[in-house]
Amino acid sequence: MDRLDNTVRPYAWGSTTAIPGLLGVEPSGEPQAEMWMGAHPGAPSRTGRGTLVEVIDADPERELGPAAVAKFGPRLPFLLKILAAGAPLSLQVHPNLQQAKEGYEDEERRGIPIDAPFRNYKDANHKPELICALTEFDGLCGFRDPLQAADLLDGLGVDSLKAYVDLLHAHPEEAALREVLTAILTADPEQMRHTVAEAAAACTRLGGAYTAYADIAHHYPGDPGVIAAMLLNHVRLQPGEALFLGAGIPHAYLTGLGVEIMANSDNVLRCGLTPKHVDVPELLRIVRFEAGDAGVLRPEASLDGEEVYETPIDEFRLSRYVLPEGGTAPDLTREAPQILLCTAGSVRAGDQQLTPGQSVFVPAAEKVEVSGAGTIFRATVIV
């Protein structure tokens, strides 16, 4: 197996302290948003044999296993991250696999450069993802019931929000959510800045259920995403709880430290809380206008101590072992690639001793046993 040397991405929304705290190093004072573990070409993990991209390219069937190569192709299907949000991320959705293929092919035909700031589809893959909290973790996930959203907006006492309240009351669920999100994102920018400023002041004054939105407005003053965010469920995860984010589900991470895993894609359509490109027509085509509970996941424990976060896709499977002092996990050998990540304590994986933030890549069929006292996350695929 290969110990991984991983890149930390310094996005502006990153916490300055959470990842250094996990790693046990002094903060640099700069934001540290995400630590990537995997073979994404944008920041592949490094090993003693080269980057993980180079290692897999040299012999995909040996590293990934014949079954994974047959199902997903000669690439690692997932990207594992430690994510540390010190400020809200952009409000966004991801396409399903068919939408991603069609969107990518269309932009390729039109000759839009892959690095163009107005390009929507960087690849032809979908991007389902799972976030598991290591600390208390706040986020937005999926639409509220339209009547609940109407009550939240109405409670601010802002006259310019009255039209949205009326729309949420006047139409069936899908039509109501579609019309209001469309109206928010296509409103006159100057009028929307005034509306957001009034709403932010009211959120600050009222507190309680409005506190999260006051904080969002502090980071993104005048952004229409502040109002759009109030259409969504606000959820606070406790350590060990998770959210699965499928195609078309609007979401945003607000604050906290977590382990994130996703299909190996970079396709994002933004709804707001960002200075980046927002393609409203394409966004409205991708969003699923369905209200529902945020769907907090808790791991399902097996007899051997593995706690699995069940999701409906095959590109990744995330689980964890919480080992007591002197604890051992069973043989973790699997006919598929794995990344093992320690997040607490000190755990031995094969011949590698891991402390928080350290990880290893385990090729398919390589024998690996785990022991020690701590928590280790296991990322693999379903073949």
DSSP state, residue 14: B
DSSP state, residue 339: E
Bridge partners of residue 374, in order along the sequence: 323, 345
> For 362-383, b where at least 16 C-beta lie within 10 A, e where not — what string?
bbbebebebebebbbbbbbbeb
Q: How many CA atoms lie within 13 A of 265 on its CB side?
A: 27
Bridge partners of residue 47, in order along the sequence: 50
Bridge partners of residue 339, in order along the sequence: 361, 379
Q: Is 227 helix (H, G, I), strand (E, B) or coil?
A: helix
Residue positions counted in the chain: 383
**Could you tell me which residues come within 8 angstroms of residue 260 by beta carbon, excluding any fewer than 6 positions away?**
34, 80, 81, 82, 83, 129, 130, 131, 132
CA dist 341 and 19 (Å) reads: 14
Q: Do strands 34-38 and 7-9 pair parallel, antiparallel, or not at all (unpaired)?
A: antiparallel
Helices of type H across the chain: 18-23, 52-58, 60-64, 66-72, 97-109, 146-154, 162-170, 173-185, 189-206, 211-219, 225-229, 280-286
Question: Is 144 among the catalytic positions?
Answer: no
Extract the tokens encoding 324: 């007591």
Active-site entry in 270, 320, 334, 378: 270
CA dist 340 and 37 (Å) reads: 10
Would you tell me how many other CB atoms lie within 10 Å of the CB of residue 238? 11
Yes or no: say if 200 and 215 are a contact pair by the CB < 8 Å rule. no
Q: How many CA atoms lie within 13 A of 176 on its CB side?
A: 22
CA dist 319 and 304 (Å) reads: 12
Query: Which are the catalytic amino acids?
Result: 270
